[in-house]
Amino acid sequence: MLKGKVAVVTGGTRGIGYAIVKKYLENGAKVVLFGSRDETVNKALAALKEENPDWEVSGYAPNLLDPKALEETIAKIKEQYGRIDILVNNAGISDSTKIDDYTAEQFAKVMDLNVKAIFNAILPTVKIMKEQGGGCIINTSSMVSISGQPSGVAYPTSKTAVNGLTWSLARELGPSNIRVNAVAPGITKTDMVAALPEQMIAPLIKMIPLRRIGEPEDVANAFLYLASDLASYVTGEILSVDGAMRS
């Protein structure tokens, strides 16, 4: 479904991001994954190469909050592959701090990593996509951008901002043949969720109409669809992948 396309995936070393990278490789894309540290990037690359030595995958660990560093890294990717067809902005952090325990610095950290980092990656990539005649940007939102959450106000605030960015850029970049969408996952079996005790997991499952927690591959499938030509007329959408658990 993605044969010949070049994709960049931030936060691609584990969890949902790693599942997206793998799904794109399985579907013929050349993928550049970003991680927070060289060690995690190298570990992810080694695991992918062990699974399939023929996959064309590489990685970097740029500081997503440094616009200059990101611009230089994106330029390297363009020089290496000649183009960038897909940008997946998946890197970010969650938060569940109660309001009485918040600091302004902590709120700013969540907003920086979940919103500013996306914008920093988009700026240089859009220039390349305009030059080549089009492309596709997919952002990771969250179920809580629709429903909120009981504590950790910075996280749903940041993801609601991601939705606004997605809707607005879809309208602005549409004439340049650049599609912009987002995926809003619900509770997904990442390492953090898998480590929770059964007594915490069981009540969560009861709240999900499909009566199961999502797998990273469930979410990756949505990213595959939105990146593919099957979604060539889909832009400005926030695609929920949450088993209908939205409130």
Whole-number Å distance between alpha carbons of 155 and 241: 18
Q: Which residues of 50-59 are buried (b: 16+ CB within 10 A; e: fewer)?
A: eeeeebebeb
- Cα angle for residues 224, 193, 51 (degrees, 5° grid): 50
Whole-number Å distance between alpha carbons of 20 and 15: 9
Nearest in space to 162 (alpha carbons), one of 134, 186, 137: 137
DSSP string, 138-176: EEE--THHHH--SS-THHHHHHHHHHHHHHHHHHHHGGG
3-state helix, strand, coil split of the chain in percent (to 5) is 50, 15, 35
Whole-number Å distance between alpha carbons of 63 and 174: 29
Provide the annotated active-site residues.
155
